[in-house]
Structures are given as structure tokens and as C-alpha cells.
Amino acid sequence: MREIDLATWNRAMHCQIFRNSVQPQYCVTFELDITNFLRRIRERGYSFTFSFVFAVTKCANEIEEFRCRFWEGKPVIYDKINTSFTYLDNGSELFKVVNVEMQDTIEEYVSLAANTVREQKEYFTAPIGNDIYQFSSFLWVSFTHISHTESGKKDNATPMIDWGKYFIRDEKVMLPFSVQVHHSFVDGVHIGKLANLLQDYLDNFE
């Protein structure tokens, strides 16, 4: 990571204004068409969870604003963001938090994620890092909005990403998708960029 130079950063004033807000994080929910993506990963025999986490992380990492965080009170930008996701233990209604380093290809990531889930016995292995996207699936409901448990830390700029139960509409498979971000770094235009990049990736995944 590298520290952002506030003297030359064009977003310095926006960052400070939103940082002083009572609630600087905000959440946006929209739908994604996963028709092609779901068919392709089923053909490969891949886990949807692992595959989708890779897809979102790959696209979010292409947007600089999604790689910004606060570190020791200062705004910084990471070269790469990794992943952390919740995963239900077999035969249990309790989830574990699994941390997996981002890989160059979906094949490598799916394999590493599967091995990590299989080998991890603890529910929580360590505090969640700063250089991650935090994922959680909500598979029982096709939600139209979701909120999150807040730590109360105003400088927590880790994006929180959720998806719900997919459903069929007009012969397309649609997925509720939600992303919570810190307004000091991410505006609506950047969420729009993520939505477009991600939908394009899902549509053209081979």
C-alpha cells in the first residue's frame, strides 16, 4: 500500500467531509443477470460462492476507489485487495469467516478457496484485515435491501458485499446484489463502474 498525498489528491476535501459524517458508510442494492455465468460455472463444476467472490473482487480491484482505506488515521491505497467470506459449516447453522488471497485466475482461486474452507476448523481465525473485501451470502431470501452490523468505527472503509437468493425473471437468472462502501472514497459513480464491469464479466465469462 502507499499513503495518499493529501496535498495533491483531488478528493481530499470530499474525503474529509464524509469522514466527519455520523454515518460515513452507505449501502446500495441492485440486481445482476447471472444467466451466462451460472451456466458456465456449473459446466466446470465450480462452487458459485467461490466463483462469484472471485468475479466481484477482480472487477472491484480494477477501480482505484475500491482499493482505498484508512490506515493509522491516514488514507492509503492498496495495490491489491484480497477476500474474506462467510461460509456455513457442514451440518451446522453457524458460519465461519474464511480469508483467501486473491489469485490471477478463477481456476486458481476456486481451488485455493476450496482447500482453505476444507482445512479451516475454527469459526474465526484472526481479525479481519484492512486489505480485503468482506463477502456474505444471504441465500434464503431474494432481498431488495440489506443492512449490516456496524462496529461503530467511522474509519472502517472495508466494502461489505452481499448477495441473495437468485430467481428467474423473463427467462433470465437474476441475483440481488448489495455493496456497502465508505463515502470518503467511493461515490455513486464508482458503484456504477463496478456494476458495469461486473455485469460485463458475468455476461462474457467463458
Query: What is the tens place of the pLDDT at every residue in 24-83?
Result: 999 999 999 999 999 999 999 999 999 999 999 999 999 999 999 999 999 999 999 999
Would residue 8 count as lying in a domain?
Answer: no
Closest CA to 58 of 194, 206, 204: 194
Across 41-73, b (16+ Cβ under 10 Å) vs e yields beeeebebbbbbbbbbbbbbbeeebbbbbbeee
Query: What is the tens place of the pLDDT at every residue in 140-155?
Result: 999 999 998 877 789 9
Q: Could you tell me the pLDDT band of residue 129, with boundaries at 50, 70 and 90? A: confident
pLDDT value of residue 128: 80
Would residue 6 count as lying in a domain?
Answer: no
CATH number of the CATH domain containing 116 = 3.30.559.10
Structural domain range at position 72: 43-204
Would residue 4 count as lying in a domain?
Answer: no
Domain count, the chain: 1
Provide the CA 150 distance to its chain's centre, in angstroms: 16
Mean pLDDT score across all residues of the chain: 96
Would residue 171 count as lying in a domain?
Answer: yes
Residue 126 has pLDDT above 80, yes or no: no
Closest CA to 137 of 159, 163, 160: 163
Would residue 7 count as lying in a domain?
Answer: no
Query: What is the tens place of the pLDDT at every residue in 103-125?
Result: 999 999 999 999 999 999 999 98
Would residue 24 count as lying in a domain?
Answer: no
pLDDT value of residue 66: 98
Residue 90 has pLDDT above 80, yes or no: no
Would residue 138 count as lying in a domain?
Answer: yes
- Give pTM, 2 decimals: 0.96
Would residue 27 count as lying in a domain?
Answer: no
